[in-house]
């Protein structure tokens, strides 16, 4: 039997601390070792109890969660899960927390997200956190004229790129997108992220990349130089409108416990784009996207899985490799290169 994962809860609300402690204590394999009302108390409790995982609120008195997270990652690296409300004020800060090293952001309960949903999602992330490799994700050079590449890409809507990621994926997606020139093939992508955070994440990427990055709206065109991100709490699918590729933003049940789901996106790309597609599955817990990547490969697409050494969590790529969905396995730093080779026609899909 696996040992229990010890957790410290950090939140300035006594009610949130009590509820989270109660609900997490009911989850198999999880032991709450304490709760702290602010980072100063949390610092002492971390040294005393040495928890496996910390859950952290963002907005707290005396020291905000982002500042505390940065200090932890510098002096005492430990898996941290941000547990935040979806207040507009907190969204950009939550994105910054992911960039600073948080392994995930989980929404606090609201009218559409019950405490049971929160506890189940949080428990799954906590259990997987023990497999997280705490390291700095490679930082690509900033976008701008100096990052321009000499690669000449044909402006065509015939080639499609599909990207899927979860834990650690915010930085992985940034690394790939920042390495791409402005006229790259149209990109569709799913990152496991709560409703309300995807728009801020897309805006952040858009400010850093040469390609345009935006949260997808239903019937948006997929065109060269644009990357469309699945909005939280909705699935993203590729479709056609005459000769053009478009996306459909749809509701529906969770797939592999996720909405948006990478499998939903990849399956639609396999069906609609076939051999004209490139798919990459990157760091994340679980198996979402593995079956969809296999469907893409069977349809003739070029498919890539991020390698174990460069993943924050080697879960989704591992399952894709085991299932036979990955034609290639590559480090994070090599995925953009494979994508550009595909765009130029120099990387063709092999028979499944």
Active site (catalytic) residues: 166, 192, 288
For residues 162 and 293, give the distance between their C-alpha atoms in angstroms, rounded to a whole number: 10
Name residue 83's beta-bridge partners.
106
DSSP string for 310-339? G-SSBSHHHHHHHHT--SEEE-HHHHHHHH
Residue 212's Cα: distance from chain center in Å? 18
* Residues whose CB is less than 8 angstroms from the CB of residue 105 and which lie 6 or more positions away in sequence, other chains included: 81, 82, 83, 84, 94, 97, 98, 193, 194, 197
The region, left, alpha or beta by phi > 0 then psi within -120 to 50, assigned to residue 267 is alpha
Q: Which two tokens stand for residue 134?
A: 């705490």
């Amino acid at each position: 039997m696996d040992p229990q994962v010890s957790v410290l809860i950090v939140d300035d609300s006594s009610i949130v601390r009590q509820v989270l402690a109660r609900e997490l204590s009911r989850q198999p394999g999880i032991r709450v070792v304490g709760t702290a009302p602010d980072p100063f108390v949390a610092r002492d409790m971390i040294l005393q109890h040495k928890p496996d995982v910390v859950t952290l609120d963002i907005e707290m008195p005396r020291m905000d969660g982002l500042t505390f997270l940065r200090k932890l990652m510098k002096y005492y690296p430990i898996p941290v899960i941000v547990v935040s409300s979806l207040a507009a004020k907190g969204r950009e800060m939550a994105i910054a927390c992911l960039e600073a090293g948080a392994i995930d952001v989980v929404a606090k309960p609201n009218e559409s997200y019950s405490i049971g949903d929160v506890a189940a999602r949080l428990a799954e992330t906590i259990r997987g956190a023990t497999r997280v490799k705490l390291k700095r994700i490679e930082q690509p050079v900033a976008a701008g004229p100096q990052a321009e590449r000499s690669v000449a890409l044909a402006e065509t809507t015939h080639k499609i790129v599909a990207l899927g990621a979860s834990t650690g994926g915010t930085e992985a997606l940034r690394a790939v997108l920042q390495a791409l020139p402005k006229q790259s093939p149209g990109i569709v992508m799913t990152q496991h992220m709560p409703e309300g955070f995807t728009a801020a994440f897309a805006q952040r990427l858009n400010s850093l990349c040469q390609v345009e990055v935006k949260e997808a709206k239903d019937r948006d065109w997929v065109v060269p130089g644009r990357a469309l991100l699945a909005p939280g709490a909705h699935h993203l699918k590729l479709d056609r409108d005459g000769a053009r590729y478009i996306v459909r933003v749809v509701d529906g049940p969770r797939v592999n416990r996720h909405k948006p789901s990478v499998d939903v996106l990849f399956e639609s790309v396999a069906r609609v784009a076939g051999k004209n597609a490139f798919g990459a599955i990157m760091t994340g817990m679980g198996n979402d996207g593995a079956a969809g990547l296999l469907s893409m490969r069977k349809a003739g697409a070029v498919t890539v899985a991020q390698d174990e050494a460069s993943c924050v969590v080697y879960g989704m790529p591992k399952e894709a490799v085991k299932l036979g969905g990955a034609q290639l396995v590559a480090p994070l730093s090599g995925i953009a290169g494979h994508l550009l080779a595909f765009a130029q026609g120099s990387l063709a899909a092999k028979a499944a």
